[in-house]
Amino acid sequence: MSGSGVEVAAGDQAVADAAARPSDILVAAIVGTAGLKPTLEGARRGALVALANKETLVSAGAVMNAEVKSGGATLIPVDSEHSAIFQVFDFDRVDGVQKITLTASGGPFREKSLAQMQKMTPEQAVAHPNWDMGAKISIDSATMMNKGLEMIEAFHLFPVAPDAIEVLVHPQSVIHSMVSYVDGSVLAQLGAPDMRTPIAYALAWPSRMAAPSKTLSLAEIGTLTFEAPDPVRFPALRLARECLEAGGSAPTILNAANEVAVAAFLDHRIGFLDIASVVETVLDEMGASDLLDLEAVFAIDSEARARAEQILKPK
């Protein structure tokens, strides 16, 4: 814009170029694999990255962490669960950590049977009981794929083994996650279910700043409940754990196929339970392979999306 000192640009490369410019903090909040390149650009210049994009670590965790290390960048998780762990994780004494526990609300279908879930509509699936989120992440919460993706993300954020990451259903969404230590201590971060709290923490880190979130009152809440997730009604959790253990391209395939299947469900092309079925079929067809660089990530992502679309075509 002539005379204003403001440059105008558009497109994928423009976003990546913007992320490469100096800044106090880079907030990576573009949904999907579209957020990969700009987040990597921030890591390469050693930025303080407030990471709200799951796909960066799910699809390209090893690639991203290598860039973070070589660039001297710092990742501050913005997801409420990972922010909670970050706030109570003892990075200086990792050998004292026994496990980390990601809490899950259970979504809108926590108490529904399989027969009931098969009939659920997109409108019902996006009606989350605790959080006001976009359509895609709301569907992921309903299938609990969101929690599966968070397990993979947690593995790349925190130095723990895959079997030291567990999921616990906590319908009130007050305890956002926990870290268990070898001496029997369990440290948890609590707060109202309000994303402004973890966002404020990331923006102010390593200090804290005032946020307009509601102050938590345990007396008003009264009771906090917990239960183990049901792997039969929520197979996405099983698929995600299998991909976490397989490593390589498996999480990339999981994420890409899930995005396609969720879009198909939102478009009323498939049923709710078909989402996990489509993802599992793509995973079985492709298998896991090594991921050496970002180009390999995009190639696998593209192939997984194409295979998912092929499965969705009318026979």
- Reading across the β-sheet that carries 48-51, which strands appear in turn? 26-28, 48-51, 74-77
What domains are there in the chain, each with its CATH number? 1-77 (3.40.50.720), 85-231 (no CATH), 247-315 (1.10.1740.10)
Look at 111 and 315; give whichever has higher pLDDT. Answer: 111
Strands 186-190 and 175-181: what pairing?
A: antiparallel
pLDDT value for 137 = 84
| Per-residue pLDDT tens over the stretch 175-232 | 999 999 999 999 999 999 999 999 999 999 999 999 999 899 999 999 999 999 999 9
pLDDT confidence tier of residue 1, bands split at 50, 70 and 90: low
pLDDT value for 131 = 64
- Cβ-contact 197, 132 below 8 angstroms: no
pTM above 0.75, yes or no: yes
Give 270's DSSP letter: S
E runs forming strands in the chain: 26-28, 48-51, 74-77, 97-104, 165-169, 175-181, 186-190
The rounded distance, in Å, linking the Cα atoms of 310 and 90 is: 46
Q: Determine the residue type at 203.
A: L
pLDDT value for 134 = 75
The rounded distance, in Å, linking the Cα atoms of 304 and 197 is: 35
| Per-residue pLDDT tens over the stretch 119-128 | 999 999 988 6
Three-state helix/strand/coil letters over 11-75: CHHHHHHHHCCCCCCEEECCCCHHHHHHHHHHHHCCCEEEECCHHHHHHHHHHHHHHHHHHCCEE
- Cβ-contact 107, 140 below 8 angstroms: no
CA trace torsion 30, 31, 37, 43 (10° rounding)? 60
129 pLDDT higher than 80: no
| Per-residue pLDDT tens over the stretch 232-273 | 999 999 999 999 999 999 999 999 999 999 999 999 999 999
Give 214's DSSP letter: P
| Average pLDDT over all residues of the chain | 93
Strands 165-169 and 48-51: what pairing?
A: unpaired
pLDDT value for 136 = 87
pLDDT confidence tier of residue 7, bands split at 50, 70 and 90: confident
- Cβ-contact 149, 54 below 8 angstroms: yes
Q: Which two tokens mark 79?
A: 């997801």
Q: Determine the residue type at 136.
A: K
The rounded distance, in Å, linking the Cα atoms of 273 and 264 is: 12
- Cβ-contact 166, 102 below 8 angstroms: yes
pLDDT value for 12 = 87
pLDDT value for 294 = 87
CB-based burial label for 204 (10 Å; 0-12, 13-18, 19+):
middle
pLDDT confidence tier of residue 292, bands split at 50, 70 and 90: confident
